[in-house]
Structure 1
Amino acid sequence: MKIDERHLIQLAAVVKTGGVTEGAALLGLSQPAVSRTLSMLEARIGEPLFLKGRRPLQPTPLGRALADHGQTMLSASRKASDVVESFRAGRSGVVRVGGTPFFMDALIAGMIAEFQNLHPDVRIDQTYGYFPDLRAALNADQIDLAICPIDILDEGSGLEFQQILPGRNVVACRVTHPLLLKRRPQPAHLLDFPWVAPPPGSPLLTDLRSMLLSFGATEVKIRYSGGSLMSVVHYMKAADALTIMPHSVVFALRNEKSITALPVPIPHSERALGLLKRSDAPRTPAADHFARHIRTGFDNLKHLIKRHEQSVVWGA
């Protein structure tokens, strides 16, 4: 015998509330409609569902058993509705985000944690990459959002870019570096020390070579390369090596009191850190919600980063 699931749900509502009128109100139905359903259900199974003459209504053992099945369906339906509402509001779902390693480790990882403290039902799947890889991942629908520095998008790229922080590179060193003892360290002084190279593929590697070339260097003394942000930091804490880093990354490490920026003006490219996504990507509420969180986080950080920049006092 096949029983309509909607009939069991209505039975469950009546048993739960103790009355047909109340059960109908719980489901947003009319009292006559629910009464007809119960009559049809009793006729179909050939057994009474409620004890006669009892108020509030009391189910028979069979009525109780069927109502329990209906309650399970009703609860599942409510949970499904909650899932849909939570998804539409961006409070649940999966966000696939890719980004450049140093920015992700120094700045974005903490913001992801803050976001999930507010929205624990949103899962974040993070990957690393630089602009060419991230662009390919976006176009292949492997990620929803990229966080990376770029200079300009090609016309017709099909991508949208929202700037969240102007680009600015600095020369980073340990806080006890000998050059910090000089009153006015000059670019030429930097050539006396070895360097840590940014990861392969990073635009910082191109920036490093251009900077040293502008200082008159004919070769680069690379002593360490290919490390993660934390490995670079730990290496530099024990060495007099220098490296090039985005100022925002040095700012993010300020409380560790291990790495700082040399007050030496250096050339920097016109890149900016921002959020990148496909123009024609289907709307993902959780990804939109996460992007707003990142933008707000950087809006709150901008003045602190600027103040830190001014306190280091390097040239414009």
Structure 2
Amino acid sequence: MTVVRLASISAAARELNLTQPALSKSIRLMEQSMGVPLLERGASGVRPTEFGTRLKTYADLVLTLSNEAVEEIDALRGVRRGALRIGCVASTLRRLMPEAIAGFLDRHPDLQITVGEGLNDTLLDLLHAGRLDLVVTSRPADVTNPDLEYLPLMEEPLRIVASPRHPLADMEAVTLPDLVPYPWVVPPRPDPDRLRLEAMFSSAGLPRPRVSIETTSVVFLSGMLRRSDSLSYSTAGSVEDQVGLTDAPVALRLLSPTWMRTTCAAYRRTGSLRPKVVAFVRHLAGVCATVQQDEAGVGTR
């Protein structure tokens, strides 16, 4: 891994405090045992072959799991605090995670939690590489990674949202063709909700939504909606949370079809038995169930 990171056998040997011949011999023996070349020399230095890239992926994961095992044992011995690394897409980070994490820390005050925001695909790649313990996100349209487990937490309807001054905001019944002339502010592909939106338009024989801005920032998105005739989408619960706020986006009264978001907790199968991951997922599932019940109660009043 050091050779790949530095793109140089000599530099890696110095960092590892080995002679260059000794490191080269070690690499050669590994290639012989596997029967494939792992490294190749190019104009920019040493780089991994396809075989080497695949091996590095597993080596990174093994190193991460080894570190996690030491961390778990140290936490049990009381030598250090336990740690939990969570990645979230923007919508879940703002709406679900503060309550979930605050409640979890009340029960586990010695736990240190790191929370990061990112795009769905980026977070799942970090999870697979062992750099995150858990990702809370929309379920991908195509689940192709057998090493990841997805636990559905809640399902909620999505709404088309716009400025309260938008030309469509006061219409009693908005159709998909009514949306076609307006620009959109949405997350980049392959955001699962965006892909479902595009599929909804295609199924109706309409052109894809005209995306003028791509962003992962909920704050920026809300600001753009306030200052333009752009459209976007949000969960019904997020819209309800902003009722009463000045210039908050409003949900358009869109006729069918409806369109749902499934929020999931994703974690590595190899890490699924770790107590802190299991405990947090159970706690988060309880928070999501309460949120969904509360929203159902609001919707029936």
TM-score by length of 2: 0.62
Hey, what does 2:153 align to over in structure 1? 164
Q: 1:292 pairs with 273, 278, 282, which one?
A: 282
1:213 aligns with 2:202: yes
Hey, what does 1:77 align to over in structure 2? none
Hey, what does 1:232 align to over in structure 2? 221
Superposed, 1:239-278 pairs within 5 Å as: 239-254=228-243, 256=245, 258-267=248-257, 272-278=262-268
Q: CA deviation at 1:310?
A: 6.0
Instruction: Report if aligned partners of 1:97, 1:127 keep a CA contact under 8 Å in 2.
Output: yes
CA deviations on 1:170-217 (whole Å, 9 max, x unpaired) are 211233433232222222222232221223431222233223334554
Hey, what does 1:191 align to over in structure 2? 180
Structure 1 residue ranges without an equivalent (≥5): 1-81, 312-316
Q: CA deviation at 1:296?
A: 1.2
Distance 1:271 1:223, change over 3 A: closer
Rounded Cα–Cα distance in structure 1 between residues aligned with 2:184 and 2:120:
24
Instruction: Report if aligned partners of 2:119, 2:216 keep a CA contact under 8 Å in 1.
Output: no
Rounded Cα–Cα distance in structure 2 between residues aligned with 1:198 and 1:152:
15
Structure 2 residue ranges without an equivalent (≥5): 1-73
Rounded Cα–Cα distance in structure 2 between residues aligned with 1:150 and 1:178:
33
Rounded Cα–Cα distance in structure 2 between residues aligned with 1:160 and 1:218:
35
Distance 1:167 1:153, change over 3 A: farther
CA deviations on 1:60-119 (whole Å, 9 max, x unpaired) are xxxxxxxxxxxxxxxxxxxxxx963779xxxx5211111222222332244323433554
- Other structure's SS at 1:180 match: coil
Rounded Cα–Cα distance in structure 1 between residues aligned with 2:259 and 2:174:
22
Rounded Cα–Cα distance in structure 1 between residues aligned with 2:221 and 2:144:
36
Rounded Cα–Cα distance in structure 2 between residues aligned with 1:199 and 1:152:
15
Hey, what does 1:103 align to over in structure 2? 92
Instruction: Report if aligned partners of 1:211, 1:266 keep a CA contact under 8 Å in 2.
Output: no
Instruction: Report if aligned partners of 2:90, 2:216 keep a CA contact under 8 Å in 1.
Output: no
Q: CA deviation at 1:126?
A: 1.9
Hey, what does 1:67 align to over in structure 2? none
- Other structure's SS at 1:256 match: coil
Rounded Cα–Cα distance in structure 2 between residues aligned with 1:127 and 1:175:
31
Superposed, 1:67-106 pairs within 5 Å as: 84=76, 92-106=81-95
Hey, what does 1:125 align to over in structure 2? 114
**Identical positions, percent:** 21
- Other structure's SS at 1:280 match: helix
- Other structure's SS at 2:152 match: strand
Instruction: Report if aligned partners of 1:172, 1:245 keep a CA contact under 8 Å in 2.
Output: yes
Q: Which one is further off, 181-190 or 117-126?
A: 117-126
Q: CA deviation at 1:281?
A: 1.4
Q: 1:201 pairs with 174, 190, 196, which one?
A: 190
CA deviations on 1:144-176 (whole Å, 9 max, x unpaired) are 111122257758813322211115322112334
Q: Residue 105 of structure 2 aligns to which amino acid in structure 1? A: Q
Q: Residue 174 of structure 2 aligns to which amino acid in structure 1? A: P
Distance 1:193 1:154, change over 3 A: closer
Q: Which has the larger radius of gyration?
A: 1
Q: CA deviation at 1:255?
A: 5.7
Superposed, 1:43-54 pairs within 5 Å as: none
Hey, what does 2:171 align to over in structure 1? 182
Q: CA deviation at 1:301?
A: 0.7
CA deviations on 1:235-294 (whole Å, 9 max, x unpaired) are 212323211223343344446361232121354667521112122216433333322221
Instruction: Report if aligned partners of 1:151, 1:271 keep a CA contact under 8 Å in 2.
Output: no
Instruction: Report if aligned partners of 2:121, 2:190 keep a CA contact under 8 Å in 1.
Output: no
Instruction: Report if aligned partners of 1:198, 1:205 keep a CA contact under 8 Å in 2.
Output: yes
TM-score by length of 1: 0.60
Distance 1:265 1:182, change over 3 A: closer
Distance 1:156 1:239, change over 3 A: closer
Distance 1:107 1:233, change over 3 A: farther
Hey, what does 1:53 align to over in structure 2? none
Hey, what does 1:31 align to over in structure 2? none
Q: CA RMSD in A?
A: 3.4
Instruction: Report if aligned partners of 2:138, 2:261 keep a CA contact under 8 Å in 1.
Output: yes
Q: 2:125 pairs with 128, 131, 136, which one?
A: 136
